[in-house]
Amino acid sequence: MPTPRTILVPTDFTDCSAKALAEALALAGALDAKVHLLHVYGIDGLPDDATLLTSAHATEEAAQQKLNELLRTLPSRSAVVEARARLGDPARTIVEVASELGVDLVVMGTHGRRGVTRLFLGSVAEAVLRSAPCTVMVVREGHPARG
């Protein structure tokens, strides 16, 4: 693997994704890499066409506000260069953004579910692993965070 210079970190604001962000920031600091933070959101239910745009806009604003709050908790010398919120299917959108930004590495958390739970919920991490245009580092939920 070539030395990563740009790292994408998807977040769902859980402890699991916080651990992945800590790993990515430690790696970025050691490699002088830049980090792009991404939150992919959806719209619960399917409102009628008249309210869809309003709902999507409000959801995007709430997601971006949450990202900004997360950014305020990071050290001032953090390697994060951008935080963005995107509407879409998480796995597909993560892969799209990785391609658009030309990132070298995706660092993401996984809950490590197995059996029936995984069967019904699927695995965003697994889907990203299968189709990402770059290397993917997966941080398990139980993994102790650096930092």
How do the pLDDT tens digits run along the chain, 147 residues long? 788 999 999 999 999 899 999 999 999 999 999 999 999 987 655 455 555 555 556 778 889 999 999 998 988 777 888 899 998 899 999 999 999 999 999 999 987 655 444 443 458 888 999 999 999 999 987 655 554
Q: What local confidence, expressed as pLDDT, does residue 56 receive?
A: 59
Q: What is the pLDDT of residue 21?
A: 94
- What is residue 11's predicted lDDT score, i.e. its pLDDT? 94
* The predicted structure's pLDDT at residue 121: 42
Go through the domains of the chain in sequence order and give each one's CATH number: 6-140 (3.40.50.620)
| Pick from 25, 4, 23: nearest CA to 109 | 23
Flag whether the pTM goes above 0.75. yes
Strand partners, 15: none
Per-residue HEC secondary structure of 85-117 comes to EEECCHHHHHHHHHHHHCCCEEEEEECCCCHHH
A 10 A CB-CB count for 71 gives: 13
The predicted structure's pLDDT at residue 111: 72
Per-residue model confidence (pLDDT) at position 92: 94
